[in-house]
Chains A and B, each alone.
Chain A
């Protein structure tokens, strides 16, 4: 809605703004002197400083940003590799040897980012050094075959000597005494009648 008196006042206001403010030479000098003496403002230490455009992109910053991005991508790949959700189910199918009390069982785990994987369970006295697994041709799956006595066995995979991973293709052991889940395999032929 327009003010009724606007045409009357507009020229005066315009003239006032157009005239500008004159600053004396001594006043300008005082102002510049105060600016010189004032302490320099501290730079922000926030993450924005590392963003190009927010604080400038030096070669050092560029390399650090690159290294950080590589670490993030690498970390994501490793966590995906050892996570049970992305592992390929292993057949873990025992091939029963007739007349023997053991069956050959093949264990598999997909862990493309792992440097070492070991099969550890009650059949090898839970010894992490007893049954190292081998990387297959695809370089994504680790496997090992070994004779296992017929019966119910509890086991898991030890990835890079630190991470316990249950077999995604086998049921979890109901008893979890030590905080990390294990898997159960039933090697058929237990004293079958």
Chain B
């Protein structure tokens, strides 16, 4: 009996924790060694209190696209770093959804500072939608500064999530109709300003602060 216990203890000590508790999705879609390495990164993120689902999803994407192991690990590390950066920018009290949305924005090319300013603009409010809209605008070729400026301008003007989503739709439509992405974003953001708060009024300072406002 003692021998059996000792054997079990040895096994537990030798097999890395990551391999013992590997996510079943990783275990079935990646080879054992890669799955263990990804799981190690997942465990590290979890110990830091970061959301782990994006890391698993990134590894599964790599598996589906038959990417080399190093590329998968590199992408997972980049995702993990983005999650950490997003939390640092948005604050420790940020929700998991906000951190994931913030990481998406950072990976899309949005500057970390834009996340900090967005948090300051909407203290105590959920930032998931503004962050998702921000990332989406960048995806639609709106320059990162212009996209950040549009979302910040709209948020400072008191736009709700539904307003931001509507703004995004209109920008998308304008771009499809041939408008320059930067111009479409700025014009639609100004459209959310209260009547009378046109450029030259009080809200103008907010536009100016981003460096993309009118002269």
Binding site for B on A (CB under 8 A): 120, 122, 125-128, 151-152, 154, 158, 164, 171-175, 177-180, 182, 184, 186, 188-193
Contacts and interface: CB of A to CB of B under 8 A. Distances in A.
B104 A171 contact: no
Interface string B154-173: 00000011100100110000
Contact of B63 (A126, A152, A189, A190): A126
Nearest to B56: A125
Nearest to B25: A125
Contact of B101 (A152, A172, A178): A152
A174 B107 CA distance: 8
9 smallest CB-CB distances across A and B, nearest first, come from A177-B75, A126-B64, A126-B60, A178-B67, A178-B65, A192-B161, A193-B161, A174-B108, A171-B139
Contact of B132 (A127, A152, A172): A152
Contacts of B46: none
Contacts of B65: 164, 178-180
Given A174-B107, A177-B74, A179-B67, 14 more contacts: A120-B64, A125-B57, A126-B63, A151-B132, A174-B139, A177-B61, A178-B62, A179-B65, A179-B71, A182-B61, A186-B133, A190-B132, A191-B161, A192-B162
Given A190-B128, A191-B128, A191-B161, A178 B71 contact: yes
B96 interface: no
B126 interface: yes
Contacts of B58: 177
Contact of B64 (A128, A152, A171): A128
Interface of B: 25, 29, 57-58, 60-65, 67, 71-72, 74-75, 78, 97, 101, 104, 107-109, 125-126, 128-129, 132-133, 135-136, 138-141, 160-162, 165, 168-169
Contacts of A188: 165, 169
A127 B57 CA distance: 10
Provide the main secondary structure of the chain B interface: helix
6 contacts: A125-B60, A171-B139, A177-B75, A177-B78, A179-B67, A190-B132
B104 A152 contact: yes
A61 B80 CA distance: 60
B18 to A, nearest CB: 19
B62 A127 contact: no
A169 to B, nearest CB: 10
Nearest to B62: A178
Contacts of B161: 190-193
A150 to B, nearest CB: 9
Contacts of A122: 57, 61
A158 B64 CA distance: 10
Counting chain B CB atoms within 10 Å of each CB, the highest count among A126, A154, A184 belongs to: A126
Contacts of B136: 152, 171, 184, 186
Contacts of A126: 57, 60-61, 63-64
A173 B139 contact: yes
Contact of A174 (B72, B126, B138): B138
Contact of A171 (B72, B128, B140): B140
A128 B65 CA distance: 10
A126 B58 CA distance: 9
Contacts of B141: 171
A184 B139 contact: yes
Nearest to A151: B132
A175 B108 CA distance: 6
